[in-house]
Structure 1
Amino acid sequence: MTIIRARNLCKEWNGVPLFQKVSFEIRAGERLLLFGRNGTGKTTLLKGLAGRLAFEEGDVNCSLQPEEWGLLDQQLEIPAEMGALAYVLSGIEGLPRLKQRLEQLGLLLREDRRNKAFLAEYAVVYERYLQLDGYGWEAAAERCLKQLRLAPEVWDLPYRALSGGQKTRVQLAALLLRQPKLLMLDEPTNHLDKETMEWLEEWVRDYPGTILYVSHDRAFIDRTAMAILELNPDGCRRYPGGYTRYQEQKELEARTLEAQYRSQVQEKQRLQESIRRYAEWFQQAHRAAGQHDFLRAKAKKNVSRLHAKEAALERLEQNRVELPREAASLRMKLAGGEFAAHTLLSLSGVSFGYAGQSAPLLADFNLALRRGDRLAVLGPSGVGKSTLLKLLAGLHPPVEGEVRVHPQTRIGYFAQELEHLDGSVTLLDSLLTLPGMTQSEARNILGCFLFRKDEVFKTIGDLSLGEKCRVAFLRLYFGRFNLLVLDEPTNYLDIDTRERVEEALRDYPGALVVVSHDRYLHDKVANRLLLLAPGHKPRQYEGTYAEYAQQAHAGVPDSAQQARENELGLLQLRLTQLIQSGIARSEEEDRRLMAEVVSLRRQISELTE
């Protein structure tokens, strides 16, 4: 059964079409990926389908009611004070308002227990809350948050104070609670750690409703998509299967078009040669015939053949196969400033935590960043990765300890929320403020970052998140930083642009620290890892992500773990020798042996915890 039918949709930006002639259908139960390069209008299309903005042309017919839709929004705007649990419950009509009023009346009654008006209103609101099964919904919301591995201590934190991964999981919990018949997910994989990603893949595959989503995670697409809807400025096209099958079909299309194009070029050359030859024959025969009627009639036969070939050439031109123009790619080379010293930055005994948290995110933490370091910070969402980067970038002062920055160190910071960008200025004006920058040079540079023609007059606030990512890299391009601190730099980028960014970071001559859930990025750029885990001390791994993953897969311990295991083996061997040594020769020797046994058992216990 078809639940959405879109016909000839068109959306414009300042009179310029963003996309046009977009037509497609979505059937019940499908898992459909909306795919395309950054700036093609994927988020805009989702919002248009959801009724949040109007299309200039076309129409959308849907068999579902608005309350049966659910949308995961990259740029969700909610009241600053609203907590995670309150947001999850906000999808249930009328429930948050009743819950808030119950809490307010409860506080008022603590101050004045005999107030009859408060008591009467409390009874009415409480009865209505029970009718809506408010406590049942609360329990279900808490189960959803737990299922998405969000700890109870963050449930009442303001949504805006959460990490990117926590925000995504809160939105997923709200959708999980409501179970709408149609889900539209805009980049649901952004900021998610490995375990939550695996859960999301299984959830999407098993979801009883229909899902239309945007993602640039290649593995996730392969594991979840039933079909791909490729969006481009002139329409869209549907491809069955996931990303790998889509690539195969695009390659087959390209080869087929190239073969048709070559064949058409050869046919055109053959027709042009025939036309030239028949024209020459006609002219020669016409001159030779003179006034002889029979010969003149014979010469005209070449004219009809000439006209037939010209008509064939005209038909060929009308049905000409055009090779697809190669899509423009990001061209970016990040220059690093000179740095002669060995250590750019160090953290000594640093502790940091947010107000309201039971335990600090970082405690007695030490780290040194050296020249040539390319450090990847790994760990689940909420463990403090973004907080660590903000400490390195100087955005947060430590509660305890010291952050030492070498005087020559120039730090370039990329924020995952992109909140450091000035949304009120145009792309062109943002460059023209630089000393000596001309409009021609600014346009050339913006072209390298895939902003062309009238796009340079867009305000940064009107850009898609993928386009804002390119603007953030534009700032790094001019900074000549020798230390880059990057928080999820590829989250909103399309696959081709991700690969270009990976190449630029791989060739970057300075040091860098990167937080990302994109293992492809770690494979390309990291030569050292920092592993963070809840309840454990940070652990450093000297080596690449591929080496770490191979050891973890094979169960091979790293050097520190191997040393612990060697020490544990020696202690266990010594304990066995003491127990098997028999009766001691004297009471003093017996006390000494017993003390050593107790000490060995304590050390073994500490190493095996």
Structure 2
Amino acid sequence: MLELRNLTIQLDREDRYLVKDLTLSLAAGEKAVLMGEEGNGKSTLLKAILHQAGWCTVTGDIRLEGPVGYLPQFPAVEGTLAALFGSLPVWDHVEVLASLGIEYDSLFSTQLFSTLSGGEKVRYFLLSLLMQDPDILLLDEPGNDLDIDTLEWLEQFLVLCPQTVLFVSHDETLIERVHPTILHLEQLHRKSIPRLTRSSLSWPDYIRQRQQSMDHQDQVAAGQRRDHEAKMARWRRIHDAIEHRQNTATRQDPRKAAALKRKLKSVNAAGRRYEKERASFQEFSDAEEAILTRFDPGIQVPAGKNILEWQGSVVAGSQILCQKVFLSVKGPGILGITGHNGAGKSTLLRQLHSILKERPDLRVGYMPQDYREILDLSVSAADFLKDWPEARTRLGSMRFTSGEMNSAMGSLSGGQQAKILFLKMVLDKCNVLLLDEPTRNFSPLSAPVIRQALKDFGGRIILVSHDRKLLQICDEVLELTPDGLIPDRRFAQD
């Protein structure tokens, strides 16, 4: 069981509340997904529950019944796999090993944890948590970087496991299949008021009901204001007519003027009542909408233009991950690349970037899996981005506060860092995009906006992803295997 009472989390650097007087209870075995827009404090809330949010002021009562397992958004372990698993009851979890596609012998390897791929880090770290038999699991993006087979295992695990699970996820497909309790964390009124909505509906039904509720609220609010304006227009006509008659009668008939004065007093009282009615009007809906800066619609790549003609091997250090890769890419469109964790997808995209960035006829944008390849996290977005007046305007439209624009990017959420990378590609007017897991840090509300922006892009996109909804918009999806790139028939176009 997990219980929060009157929990308040205040960001010290901005004097802003992420949650305020939050009371929440999850029953034993209950599964709940914490979701919301980028930078709303989802990861911070998990860390606050564990008393690890040192950059915030946290007050309230936190009750955790039983041992807790915590998967951070970016798992990191000093040392080798053998050091991680050496004291854990490996034999008691052989079935989980097989389900995760992890070989028994690898648990005693001298390979450094830091050298694993993003998906491998999540799998090994999650395995180490399960071997400690926690009663409560706090998982920050457990599906990040996992290949599709492991994602499907994770979905089944979340449905069937006996633990109480509170997890952050941006994977719409996973949320739809697991059907957890939805905890929607929002920041309203320019991030000045936090709100958490709890729902037992499925994700598609929740989105549909939320939109219908907002539409109804806006219709009622607009109708009240429209009716009020019509009432006030009639009142003004009556008021002006009586006032005119009174001014005329004052000189000709004092008694009639006195009667009109009394009538005008009554009309003015009615006007004051009408104005007071505004206080009870329904407010217009104040809910967050996903906002992402869009690419210039004028960016186009000619249909026959040769973007890439490459044959080679995928090599990570001294290890050859794939001996023979042939890739031919022409004109605009979206090419998706899938593959098992550790297959070399990120390495391949990095190699392609090193080739294409030298082409003078292309403007290449690159979004790596590890943003630190591009972003210096010690500097602010203001220092990183060129064309600052325009960049500032666009960041503001994406709900960055002034403090967030001028803080070190390392203090921002992964989704906010991703937005900065997208904005840089927009400002640079890139016509070729190389994207490694581009939706991994965007909320389920933002992901559809990302997909539409990429569909509308007039240039060429080569992306690596395990996001099943994103892969559905690709013109072609190839799977990277030890034998090369082959069509991924799971996403074959009709």
Q: CA 1:86–1:26 in 2, change beyond 3 Å: closer, same or farther? A: farther
Q: Secondary structure at the match of 2:389?
A: helix
2:184 counterpart of 1:230: yes
Report Cα offsets for 1:200-227 as digits up to 9, x if no partner: 1111111212111111222211222342
Q: What corresponds to 1:12 in structure 2?
A: 11
Report Cα offsets for 1:293-331 as digits up to 9, x if no partner: x99589646635642552353143254523437736112
Instruction: Return the alpha-carbon distance in structure 2 between the equivalents of residues 328 and 166 of structure 1.
Output: 30
Q: Secondary structure at the match of 1:506?
A: helix
2:472 counterpart of 1:527: no
2:232 counterpart of 1:272: yes
Q: Secondary structure at the match of 1:490?
A: coil
Instruction: Return the alpha-carbon distance in structure 2 between the equivalents of residues 269 and 251 of structure 1.
Output: 27
Report Cα offsets for 1:482-511 as digits up to 9, x if no partner: 543221111101234333333333343443
Q: CA 1:5–1:325 in 2, change beyond 3 Å: closer, same or farther? A: closer
2:393 counterpart of 1:444: yes
Q: CA 1:325–1:183 in 2, change beyond 3 Å: closer, same or farther? A: closer
Q: What corresponds to 1:149 in structure 2?
A: 101
Alignment TM-score, normalising by the size of structure 2: 0.84
Q: What corresponds to 2:47 in structure 1?
A: 47
2:91 counterpart of 1:139: yes
Q: Secondary structure at the match of 2:166?
A: strand
Report Cα offsets for 1:555-576 as digits up to 9, x if no partner: xxxxxxxxxxxxxxxxxxxxxx
Instruction: Return the alpha-carbon distance in structure 2 between the equivalents of residues 190 and 269 of structure 1.
Output: 52
Q: Secondary structure at the match of 2:371?
A: coil
Letter in 1 for 2:199: Y
| Contact 2:290–2:445, Cα closer than 8 Å, also in 1 | no
2:454 counterpart of 1:501: no
Q: CA 1:269–1:370 in 2, change beyond 3 Å: closer, same or farther? A: closer
Q: What corresponds to 1:538 in structure 2?
A: 484
Give the drift of 1:251: 1.8
Q: CA 1:481–1:248 in 2, change beyond 3 Å: closer, same or farther? A: closer
CA RMSD of superposed structures (Å): 3.5
Instruction: Return the alpha-carbon distance in structure 2 between the equivalents of residues 444 and 295 of structure 1.
Output: 59
Instruction: Return the alpha-carbon distance in structure 2 between the equivalents of residues 188 and 427 of structure 1.
Output: 27
Give the one of 352, 359, 375 matched to 2:315.
352
Q: Which residues of structure 2 form unaligned runs of 5+?
A: 188-192
Q: CA 1:264–1:170 in 2, change beyond 3 Å: closer, same or farther? A: same
Letter in 1 for 2:98: K
Letter in 2 for 1:547: A
Q: CA 1:485–1:316 in 2, change beyond 3 Å: closer, same or farther? A: closer
Give the drift of 1:527: 2.6
* Structure with the higher strand share, 1 or 2: 2
Q: What corresponds to 1:111 in structure 2?
A: none
Instruction: Return the alpha-carbon distance in structure 2 between the equivalents of residues 417 and 197 of structure 1.
Output: 20
Q: Secondary structure at the match of 1:364?
A: strand
Letter in 2 for 1:352: V
Instruction: After superposing the two structures, state which structure 1 stretch, 273-282 or 489-498, moved more.
Output: 273-282
Instruction: Return the alpha-carbon distance in structure 2 between the equivalents of residues 481 and 246 of structure 1.
Output: 36
Letter in 2 for 1:538: G
Give the drift of 1:414: 1.7
Q: CA 1:523–1:173 in 2, change beyond 3 Å: closer, same or farther? A: same
Instruction: Return the alpha-carbon distance in structure 2 between the equivalents of residues 31 and 385 of structure 1.
Output: 32
Q: CA 1:507–1:305 in 2, change beyond 3 Å: closer, same or farther? A: closer
Instruction: After superposing the two structures, state which structure 1 stretch, 317-326 or 509-518, moved more.
Output: 317-326
Instruction: Return the alpha-carbon distance in structure 2 between the equivalents of residues 347 and 153 of structure 1.
Output: 36
Report Cα offsets for 1:92-147 as digits up to 9, x if no partner: xxxx5xx5xxxxxxxxxxxxxxxxxxxxxxxxxxxxxxxxxx6xx13235543332
Q: CA 1:510–1:307 in 2, change beyond 3 Å: closer, same or farther? A: closer
Q: CA 1:163–1:343 in 2, change beyond 3 Å: closer, same or farther? A: same
Instruction: After superposing the two structures, state which structure 1 stretch, 168-177 or 313-322, moved more.
Output: 313-322
Q: What corresponds to 2:190 in structure 1?
A: none
Instruction: Return the alpha-carbon distance in structure 2 between the equivalents of residues 373 and 297 of structure 1.
Output: 79
Give the one of 171, 178, 181 matched to 1:217.
171
Instruction: Return the alpha-carbon distance in structure 2 between the equivalents of residues 384 and 444 of structure 1.
Output: 38
Q: What corresponds to 2:322 in structure 1?
A: 362
* Structure with the higher helix share, 1 or 2: 1
Give the drift of 1:466: 0.5
Superposed counterparts of 1:368-387, under 5 Å: 368-372=328-332, 374-387=334-347
Q: Secondary structure at the match of 1:393?
A: helix
| Contact 2:75–2:121, Cα closer than 8 Å, also in 1 | no
| Contact 1:281–1:302, Cα closer than 8 Å, also in 2 | no
Give the drift of 1:165: 1.4
Give the drift of 1:546: 4.9
Q: CA 1:517–1:180 in 2, change beyond 3 Å: closer, same or farther? A: same
Letter in 1 for 2:492: E
Instruction: Return the alpha-carbon distance in structure 1 between the equivalents of residues 136 and 341 of structure 2.
Output: 27
Letter in 2 for 1:199: W
Superposed counterparts of 1:105-184, under 5 Å: 137-141=89-93, 143-152=95-104, 154-155=106-107, 156=109, 157-184=111-138
- Percentage of pairs with the same residue: 27
Q: CA 1:405–1:368 in 2, change beyond 3 Å: closer, same or farther? A: farther
Give the one of 210, 217, 230 matched to 1:250.
210
Give the drift of 1:517: 0.8
Instruction: Return the alpha-carbon distance in structure 2 between the equivalents of residues 411 and 257 of structure 1.
Output: 44
Report Cα offsets for 1:17-54 as digits up to 9, x if no partner: 15242513122132212121111111111111121015
Instruction: Return the alpha-carbon distance in structure 2 between the equivalents of residues 216 and 469 of structure 1.
Output: 13
| Contact 2:310–2:328, Cα closer than 8 Å, also in 1 | yes
Instruction: Return the alpha-carbon distance in structure 1 between the equivalents of residues 333 and 208 of structure 2.
Output: 38
Q: CA 1:546–1:11 in 2, change beyond 3 Å: closer, same or farther? A: same
Give the drift of 1:422: 0.2
Instruction: Return the alpha-carbon distance in structure 2 between the equivalents of residues 288 and 378 of structure 1.
Output: 87
Instruction: Return the alpha-carbon distance in structure 2 between the equivalents of residues 447 and 5 of structure 1.
Output: 33
| Contact 1:465–1:492, Cα closer than 8 Å, also in 2 | yes
Letter in 1 for 2:36: G
Instruction: Return the alpha-carbon distance in structure 2 between the equivalents of residues 27 and 405 of structure 1.
Output: 53
Give the drift of 1:424: 0.9
2:20 counterpart of 1:21: yes
Instruction: Return the alpha-carbon distance in structure 1 between the equivalents of residues 217 and 196 of structure 2.
Output: 18
Give the drift of 1:70: 1.7
- Rg larger for: 1
| Contact 2:136–2:164, Cα closer than 8 Å, also in 1 | yes
Give the one of 336, 360, 366 matched to 1:413.
366
Q: CA 1:278–1:508 in 2, change beyond 3 Å: closer, same or farther? A: closer
Letter in 1 for 2:411: D
Report Cα offsets for 1:51-91 as digits up to 9, x if no partner: 101553541331425xx112111123321x232x543x4xx
Q: What corresponds to 2:219 in structure 1?
A: 259
Alignment TM-score, normalising by the size of structure 1: 0.69
Q: CA 1:478–1:279 in 2, change beyond 3 Å: closer, same or farther? A: closer
